[in-house]
Chain A
Amino acid sequence: MAEATAVDLATARDHACLTFTDPEERLDLVARFVREGLRQRDKIICWSDELAPETLAKEFAARAVRPGSALRRGQLSIAPASESPLVREPGGAQAMIRMLSGEISRAEREGYRGLRVTMDMACVTRPAAAADQLMGFETDVAALCAEGRLCMFCQYDRDRFDAVTLAFAAQAHPVTVAAQVYHESPLLRVCRQYSPSGLRVAGEIDYRHGDLFEQALGEAIRLDRHPRVNLRALDYIDAAAAAVLVRAALRLPGSRFMHVSCGRLVATMVEMVGGREAAQLRVHRVDGEL
């Protein structure tokens, strides 16, 4: 049974399952997986389902990953999952395992430390795919990962898979990867962001969550030299919560910056509580205004 715990992605090198409902969070975790692979000189293959490869590359670029040169030199490749052997070939599971074995050997020959693969498993839910191949693939790829030369990161969209398949996926992977969540309710989600590293807050936040917000910001400040606070999906912030943000930025020494990305309403409130007085605070409006 997988450990359903938050994992420091920098140390994850195994057969891991990423279950998600929030596309933003999925992209954040996958971007961190790719960034870490580039840093560690792994060869990386991304099989994308929902997003076109060019779109995924752009999403990486927006998340502190520089895919351009890695794509050109062949360290990183991004391809539609619909073109993977798992989906296209009869007996897709075995074909996929053969392909991965070949890629592991090729990566070694090319001098890479190992092979990292991430795949949006939603590709097997497409009409033309053989969904029954999924379980065989997950079982066999676990053995390949156990040899230590492959790090496989399987993405499962909770909205696309039934509960039985998700339960199987959780069991088939030794590790479940998820963002560290500080708070989750239907109206507010506060979690760690991994690429670029910092904090992500979505929904609505007001004075009732001031202490929680302060703690989460405090952790981001401890962990990140220039914490990135992603408030793009924050629809409302009150003066008390905005003041918590500004006070946290003011506690940074002058050589460090807190970068906040947000919409106009949040930017207005941050300015109203004195955001412009905090030289350490950089507010980036997502509509391009400063």
Chain B
Amino acid sequence: MRDQPISPLGDDGLTRDQALSALGEDGVTAEPVSPPIDGKDGVALHQPFDVDSLYAMRAALVAHGSELGADGVALERLVLVASELATNAVRHGGGQGTLRLWRTGVSIFCEVSDRGPGIGDPRAGTRRAGPTEPGGRGLWICRQLADSLVIEAGSPGAVITASIALLIAEG
């Protein structure tokens, strides 16, 4: 899925190759992303969530993702990635978390933070679980559908930031 073209990239001045070279050799590690400050420069959505508000969070994601310029495949990937990260936070990260969404250049970033035990292994989700395994797919899927994924330690918990390029060929 990640091999679909995302060019031309716009005001970031990055080609797809340049963007991918920012990732490590395994395509896993990227430089942590500095989000804008809430309320000052462009966080479109700052939404706490728990198990009972996952539906509402997805509806907000669609609305704000569209506002930020995502549609078609990009919007669907945003919803799938952010929802899997949020579900992980609910199921394994203390039962609740916070989603933030913003746009930088031609990418939308979504950050999901929780106050759970954290993710010790930064390579978590690099192995694909087989169809008959009971779980362990969420992060792997996020890595496939997002253009970058950064896992950081929170205090406590985990902060995961994914980016989705806005220009993705429909397919």
- Chain A interface (Cβ < 8 Å from any Cβ of B): 187, 204, 206-208, 236, 238-240, 243, 246-247, 250, 264-265, 268-269, 272-275, 277-278, 289
Contacts and interface: CB of A to CB of B under 8 A. Distances in A.
B91 to A, nearest CB: 7
Contact of B58 (A207, A236, A243): A236
B39 interface: no
A272 B144 contact: yes
Interface of B: 1, 51, 54-55, 58, 73, 76-77, 79-80, 83-84, 87, 91, 128, 130-132, 135, 137-138, 141, 144-145, 171
Contacts of A265: 76, 79-80
Nearest to B138: A239
Chain A contact residues: helix, strand, loop or mixed: helix
14 contacts: A204-B58, A206-B87, A207-B91, A208-B51, A238-B83, A238-B84, A239-B87, A239-B137, A239-B138, A265-B79, A268-B77, A268-B145, A274-B130, A274-B131
Nearest to B90: A207
B165 to A, nearest CB: 16
B20 to A, nearest CB: 20
Nearest to B88: A239
A278 B131 CA distance: 9
A204 B130 CA distance: 24
Contacts of B144: 272
A272 B131 contact: no
Contacts of A269: 80, 141
Given A207-B87, A207-B91, A289-B171, A239 B79 contact: no
B137 A273 contact: yes
A63 B118 CA distance: 49
A264 B79 CA distance: 13
B162 to A, nearest CB: 14
Given A246-B131, A268-B145, 6 more contacts: A207-B87, A240-B87, A240-B137, A250-B131, A269-B141, A278-B131
Contacts of A206: 54, 83, 87
B137 A243 contact: yes
A48 B1 CA distance: 45
Contact of A273 (B76, B91, B131, B171): B131
A234 B144 CA distance: 22
A236 B145 CA distance: 15
Contacts of A207: 87, 91
Q: Which of A204, A272, A278 has the most CB of B within 10 A?
A: A272
Contact of A240 (B54, B128, B135): B135
Contacts of A274: 128, 130-131
B164 to A, nearest CB: 13
A289 B171 CA distance: 8
Contacts of A268: 1, 76-77, 80, 145
A250 B87 CA distance: 25
Contacts of A278: 131
A236 B75 CA distance: 12
Contacts of A243: 131, 135, 137
Contacts of B76: 264-265, 268
A272 B141 contact: yes
The interface centre, meaning the residue of A187, A243, A275 with most chain B CB atoms within 10 A of its CB, is A243
